[in-house]
Amino acid sequence: MWLLDSLTDKKMNIHLKLDDSDIILYIKVIDNDKQISRMDIIKHNDENCLYIGDILRFSKNKYYNKGIGTMMMNELIAYAKMNNYHEIRGELSTVDNEHKDRLHHFYRKFGFEIINTNNRNDCVYATISKRI
């Protein structure tokens, strides 16, 4: 399924591609046939929930702070609405502590609630949740 066939940036030939299966959704950002970023989403159909597994950047500098994460998140929210999902969830990892403030800002601007889970023993320090 393709929600957004092509979103072109005038300076870069960027478009989004959705790879959709029964259990996993990949939102890929392509520039001149090269994948530069990807959001991995797990479908919890029994809970009517999408779970953000990871957001990956395969290329640095040129694409940094260009709104690519925003494009992917807008696409995910549109997909959730079109497919009657009621919630998007995820976890924040201590691996990303270096840019924790930026991550919190990113998720909050899309209406996510950030819930600290300091009592856990793994590398997760918070969960995120957005009702659709």
Query: What does the H/E/C string look like for the chain?
Result: CCCCCCCCCCCCCEEEEEEECCCEEEEEEEECCEEEEEEEEEEEHHHCEEEEEEEEECCCHHHCCCCHHHHHHHHHHHHHHHCCCCEEEEEEEHHHHHHHHHHHHHHHHCCCEEEECCCCCCCEEEEEEEEC
Residue 13's pLDDT band (boundaries 50, 70, 90)?
Answer: low
Query: Which pTM value belongs to this model?
Result: 0.84
Is the pLDDT reported for residue 91 higher than 90?
yes
Is the pLDDT reported for residue 5 higher than 90?
no
CATH superfamily of 14-131: Gcn5-related N-acetyltransferase (GNAT) (3.40.630.30)
Q: What is the mean pLDDT of the chain?
A: 84
Check residue 12 and give its pLDDT: 59
pLDDT in tens, 46-65: 899 999 999 888 877 777 77
